[in-house]
Structure 1
Amino acid sequence: MKNFKFIDLFSGIGGFRIALEENGGQCVFSSDIDKYARETYKENFGEEPSGDITKIKSEEIPDHDILCAGFPCQPFSIAGKRLGFEDTRGTLFFDVARIIKDKRPKAFLLENVAGITSHDGGKTLDTILNTLSELGYEREWKLMNAKYYGVPQNRNRWYCVGYDASQFSKIDIHNIFPEEENLETFIDSYIEKNVSQDYQMSKIAKRNMELHINEFVSSDRYDEDHVIIANHIRPSKVNFSSNGISPCLTAKMGTGGNNVPVLYQEGRKLTENECLRIMGFPETYKIRKNYSQSYKQIGNSVVVSVVEKIGRNLVKYLFE
């Protein structure tokens, strides 16, 4: 199937959109409550996402083949203990389920933090999976770390795919998840030259790194073939690595301090462009520089190249 249509819920800065468009899809609707993310999205795609999904009626959303959503992880009340659709009310997943129920897309692709598997003692995941089954969808999930799928970042995330059992013959849905691969591109190749002094670390942060660098360099964790990355920089301890893989980029990067990983040799934090590369975004992607909201948006995004690989298989197994 060519030119399939998809929607982009909790769209952030459009990671899902880039990935699905790479597979021949057409985005017919997007939504995000964060005004800064919507600004970045508009800058890159020429259209601003709709706002709060809880206030958008299902009939206002165009028909589509695939629903994509990186919804926030929230606890459910489990008031009725049915562990299904009714128990999702009051959470943002309810709106994902509501739209699936009302629009009946052929398939969906969801993403969340790895902690969703143990959230609220496992009740959150049970409710999500039971709800999807109750709605008539075959579904499968998997924890996938980006570093095992061609991306030099230690980022473990939950991915869930599903299809409408009434529209397709039964398939081995687990095959939609790509196989692991050896990492061939390391963070070293993403580093920029002649970076602005605005990205330099404070004297205090540099002093804290110097307190602990000798211990790291003399350890078996040090690899001279890769740049040294530092994060969680404190007087008592600094996390160093030099395995060519970035630590997980998170939304906390937008809160200031030392939450953006640091290139030790250069004494500076990673730039937005370097972070975008580590998240699998194309070189053409535009984002505001030296701005805390930009780091937050990047940390909240999906890894584009990982989603692209899942999406490729989803389209292959269901639509071709």
Structure 2
Amino acid sequence: MQYKMIDLFAGIGGIRIAFEENGAKCVRSSEIDKYACETYEINFNEKPLGDITKISPEELPKFDILTAGFPCQPFSLAGLRKGFEDARGTLFFDVARLIKAREPIAFFLENVEGIVNHDGGKTINVIENVLSELGYNFQWRIMNASDYGVPQNRKRWYCVGFRKDLRIGFEGQNGNFRAIYNFPKKCDLKFKVKDILDINVSDSYLVSKTCERNINIYIDKYKLSPRYDSTNVLIANEIRPSRCNFRSDGISPCLTAKMGTGGNNIPVYVEKMRKLTERECLRLMGFPEWYQIKPNTMHSYKQIGNSVVVTIVSMLAKEMIRVLKLVDSEV
């Protein structure tokens, strides 16, 4: 059986790639950012639906799995109902209302790690209460890409859920389950930053003289510190006159949407005094080589920083498909 999924808050389609790699088929997507939509259409020959708040459940085709990398927002808790209505006024509410209306067999959610402590823990409490009220068994994990084979220091919140009537449990849960979902185990790096670097790169990626000067202010001190490893490439980021961060452990700093606000927020390959290219950043996010994105634009860097690590999502999706097929085979 081929499971059908919808790709909400789709960005540039990282979650879609991960699920389709594991045999699912995306039947509809939604994204509001104009430039992300352009990139999505280039790669998938499909224009996402726009504003999720204007999408009615009836206009979506039949689907089995809902996926969403929704933004982290505070909930208004004036009513203290501790249920579905507490989510109203946020974009998570739109995820919840579509789940409520269409009752997919499973969902996959992604967010920043800060969602766990956001608003003093109230945000995660509302999300958990709503998902439980909607009739789903779920668990979430904070996972760092560098612990799962990808050389990027990127911690994210991943939540997997199944409709309770399927009786799919999670490792460590007690109950009469038909299948158990296992989150992936940590593993060694499959490659390092040096392995994703291109040799011939346009001079348009060279940093400014000001950026180079700011790097040089701090580089000698770093090279004298025990953190410096000359066997790996040296990467600089957060480059300012007042500070500069370095890494030489083979792992990239977190690629963030701030890369879209200017060159000093894009990691720099110090030996060549150039920014990492979009292609190199995509590799650090686990995107396949066929993926296309406009070169040397701030919008492209922002889109990459806002995306997901495809490698990790693929691990999670693979296990979701495995347990769903196991349960289906018993019917």
Could you state the TM-score of these two structures normalised by the residue count of structure 1?
A: 0.98
CA distance in 2, matches of 1:313, 1:148: 18
The question of whether the paired residues in 1 share the 8 Å contact of 2:207 and 2:263 is answered with: no
CA distance in 1, matches of 2:81, 2:9: 26
Out of 183, 201, 207, the position equivalent to 1:177 is 183
Partner of 1:40: 39
CA distance in 1, matches of 2:258, 2:242: 21
CA distance in 2, matches of 1:290, 1:173: 44
* 3-state SS of 1:233 partner: coil
Out of 206, 214, 223, the position equivalent to 1:217 is 223
> Is 1:24 matched up with 2:23?
yes
> Is 1:289 matched up with 2:295?
yes
> Is 1:228 matched up with 2:227?
no
Partner of 1:162: 161
> Is 1:260 matched up with 2:266?
yes
* 3-state SS of 2:141 partner: strand
CA distance in 2, matches of 1:184, 1:139: 29
CA distance in 2, matches of 1:269, 1:116: 30
Q: CA deviation at 1:257?
A: 3.7
Q: In the TM superposition, what whole-angstrom CA distance separates every residue of 1:6-60 from its partner, at most 9, and x where no partner exists? A: 0000000000110000010010110000011010000000111010010010111
Q: CA deviation at 1:66?
A: 0.7
Partner of 2:98: 99
Partner of 2:250: 244
Partner of 1:7: 6
Partner of 1:150: 149
Q: One-letter code of the match for 1:249?
A: L
Aligned pairs for 1:15-94 (under 5 A) are: 15-94=14-93
CA distance in 2, matches of 1:10, 1:176: 25
Q: CA deviation at 1:176?
A: 3.1
> Is 1:298 matched up with 2:296?
no
Q: CA deviation at 1:172?
A: 2.2
Partner of 2:177: none
The question of whether the paired residues in 2 share the 8 Å contact of 1:68 and 1:109 is answered with: yes
The question of whether the paired residues in 2 share the 8 Å contact of 1:231 and 1:260 is answered with: yes
Q: In the TM superposition, what whole-angstrom CA distance separates every residue of 1:84-133 from its partner, at most 9, and x where no partner exists? A: 21010110000000010001000000000000000000000000000000
* 3-state SS of 2:272 partner: coil
Q: For the aligned residues, what is the CA RMSD?
A: 1.0
Gapped runs of 5+ residues in structure 1?
Answer: none
Partner of 1:113: 112
CA distance in 2, matches of 1:130, 1:285: 37
Q: CA deviation at 1:318?
A: 2.2
Q: CA deviation at 1:184?
A: 2.8
Q: In the TM superposition, what whole-angstrom CA distance separates every residue of 1:142-195 from its partner, at most 9, and x where no partner exists? A: 0000000111000000000100002x1242257431111011310110001121
Q: One-letter code of the match for 1:93?
A: F
Q: In the TM superposition, what whole-angstrom CA distance separates every residue of 1:183-220 from its partner, at most 9, and x where no partner exists? A: 13101100011211111111111111111111111111
> Is 1:318 matched up with 2:327?
no
Could you state the TM-score of these two structures normalised by the residue count of structure 2?
A: 0.94
